[in-house]
A = this chain, B = another copy of it.
Amino acid sequence: MAQSLPPRSTSAQERGSRRSARSTLSDVAHEAGVSVMTVSNFVRGKAVRVQTRKRVEQAIARLNYRPNLSARSLRLSEEYSVGIVIADSDPAFLNDPFISRLVSGLSNYLSSLDYTLDVQGVPPERFDNATILNKVGNDALCAILCGHRTLRKEHLTNLQRLGQPVVVFQEVFSSPAPNVAIISQDDLSGGRQLGQHLLARRVRSVLFVRPALDWCAIEQRERGLRSTLDGLRPAVEVKTLTAPSERFDDVQRLIREQLSKKTPGAIVAATDSMAVAALKACEAAGIRVPRDVVIAGFNGFDVWRYTTPTLTTVVSPAYEMGRHAGEMLIQRLRNGAFPKRNVSLPVRLQVGESTA
């Protein structure tokens, strides 16, 4: 198509059939009988004589002109765009409420500054293949890692090498490179708050249920819980039960087995969906909640209100984390440095009927 490059005057009408008549500044200028620069100035809100402006406005409307972002980016060496790569083994990676809220918060903040957000999910083992990482199309990046610690560490190293500002969520690695910042939620405190709450309920023994998955948020939750309950007199026993997968049925079965041996005073699940599985397992076993055993989880997304009894849970500030990431990246872009390289956002214990 478009044979050996006609020298000029290709109007939007004539131009290739692919992009049906996309008009350019030059087209508008021609239509309005002014120079390209005048149109450009008008589009960018510079002062233009009223008379000229009217002509330009009409030409723009007539030609349905919209500025071309690629051309602008190329000229300005600035993309006005941020990308987020989400490593997740679930193809429906946005379905996790933590992620969906985080991305919403990020997207909204960026939109308010007329920045674009590119979203790409990727299975953890193919992380390095993500287009967003291999081509330059964003001013800055966000990443949610997953998989084994070694793998995550490796991915973080690759992110550092990109030479772009990057925000990584929910990691504990110390970040040597000045272009990387880390945003987490204070899961340690979450575990502690929950521990205190259980103490106030006079719980004597706790079963902490977690997925085998190597995920530092969960380590923090357990650590916070244990730090509050360990070494008390009279003693509070804390036992950890590790589920091979996070699948609802698997978790439910595992807990049912455990309950057949012994009923703890409390079950704390590393996530809400595991807590619901525990709830169901108790129900099936004829163990009443909260009378016979109290149950609590982590996350606080919607689910808590759907169960009977409603669930006590530690609420994640996921939306705020996304928003905060946006703020930090924009500051980094504008000022050349992150205001802070390691941020921890507060969590909040929400008491439901399951620990009443």
Contacts and interface: CB of A to CB of B under 8 A. Distances in A.
Interface of A: 16-22, 64, 66-71, 73-74, 77-79, 81, 91-95, 97, 100-101, 103-105, 107-108, 111, 114, 116-122, 130-132, 134-137, 161-163, 179, 248, 273, 276, 280, 283, 301-303, 305-308, 319, 336
A100 B91 contact: no
Given A95-B100, A95-B301, 14 more contacts: A19-B78, A64-B162, A66-B134, A69-B135, A69-B136, A69-B137, A70-B70, A92-B100, A94-B94, A94-B104, A94-B107, A107-B119, A111-B120, A116-B118
A95 B68 CA distance: 31
A336 B136 CA distance: 28
B104 A92 contact: yes
A185 B207 CA distance: 43
B77 A103 contact: no
A64 B111 contact: no
Contacts of A119: 103, 107, 117-119
A164 to B, nearest CB: 8
Q: Which of A91, A104, A163, A305 has the most CB of B within 10 A?
A: A104
Taking chain A's interface residues, is the majority helix, strand, or loop, or is none over half, making it mixed?
A: mixed
B70 A161 contact: no
A42 B149 CA distance: 35
Contacts of A276: 305-306
B66 A70 contact: no
Contacts of A135: 66-69
Contact of A74 (B22, B74, B101, B273): B74
A301 B36 CA distance: 52
Contacts of A136: 22, 66-69
A21 B17 CA distance: 38
A48 B95 CA distance: 44
Chain B CB within 10 Å, residue with most, of A81, A92, A179: A92
A91 B131 contact: no
Given A17-B336, A91-B319, A131 B107 contact: no
Contacts of A132: 116
A77 B121 contact: no
A64 B100 contact: no
A20 B118 contact: no
